[in-house]
Amino acid sequence: MSLMPEAERRLTLTVLKAAIQAMGSVAPRNLEILLHDLDHPERSVVAIVNGHLSGRGVGSPILAAPEQDQGFKALMQASADQQGCAPVVVSDYPTTLKGRTLRSATAIFRDSTGHPFASLCVNTDVTGLDAAMSFLQQFQPLATAPTVTEPADMELLMREIIQASLQRSGQGRMNKQAKVEAVRVMQERGLFIVRGGVEKAASALGVTRYTIYNYLEQLRGASR
């Protein structure tokens, strides 16, 4: 008998948590593995290995992800395309985090209705000699779990994403093209999967929330 979508999601998250626990027992310290519950973006991280790389822990928001994380693009695409339920995988792409270079990969999982509900992310620190030395030290098991910082403030992260988008697109009297570009950057950083993201973007750009939706539809059409 087939499972209901909610039961599918719970089962998949349980299986992925167990997989991360197993991988974490042998993962080197320069490899971060984490699982997001996309239905709760304000506290999306439900499992993580080597969170010291990004300062994240269980309960951190999804907006605390590394800059230029292409996994958000996959998430937006999966959200827009409800025709399928197969996982969406983005392999080996570069991201940056606090000046360090990372190699990343993301898998987005969808239930039988096409709803994206989980994201499995892998980030590897490849910043040269420090990363190599760190890798060699990983053969010594850790006695205690690494310390991570407090979860980032969601409101602050949203403001930073909006401000960065405006700076990249040009501030002051922005024309429609500049506003669409700003929305594109906000979308790639995952602003619109968080409750209130559309309203905050509309306020910053001086438009209505319906205009933001129109811009997003225009961007989806361009990507197709």
Q: Is 176 exposed, middle or buried (0-12, 13-18, 19+ CB in 10 A)?
A: exposed
Q: Do both 10 and 120 map to the same domain? A: yes
Enter the pTM of the model. 0.68
Q: Do both 208 and 111 map to the same domain? A: no
Q: Do both 145 and 214 map to the same domain? A: no
**What span, in angstroms and rounded, lies between the C-alpha atoms of 91 and 3?**
29
Q: Do both 36 and 116 map to the same domain? A: yes
Out of 117, 151, 185, a domain closes at 151
Q: For the chain, what is the domain count?
A: 2
Out of 123, 151, 179, a domain closes at 151
Read off φ and ψ for residue 142, nearest 5 degrees: -80, 140
Q: Tens of pLDDT along the chain (224 residues)?
A: 577 888 889 999 999 999 999 998 998 888 999 999 999 988 889 999 998 888 889 998 888 777 666 666 666 666 666 567 888 888 888 887 777 778 888 888 988 888 889 999 998 887 765 555 666 666 656 555 555 555 567 788 888 888 888 887 665 678 888 888 888 888 888 888 888 889 999 998 889 989 999 988 888 777 65
CB 202 within 8 A of CB 212: yes
Q: Do both 113 and 186 map to the same domain? A: no
What does DSSP say about strands 116-125 and 31-37: parallel, antiparallel, or unpaired?
antiparallel
Out of 103, 124, 151, a domain closes at 151
Q: Do both 219 and 144 map to the same domain? A: no
**What span, in angstroms and rounded, lies between the C-alpha atoms of 59 and 70?**
22
Q: Do both 123 and 165 map to the same domain? A: no
What does DSSP say about strands 100-110 and 88-97: parallel, antiparallel, or unpaired?
antiparallel
- Of 68, 88, 67, the closest CA to residue 79 belongs to 88
> Domain limits at 181?
157-223
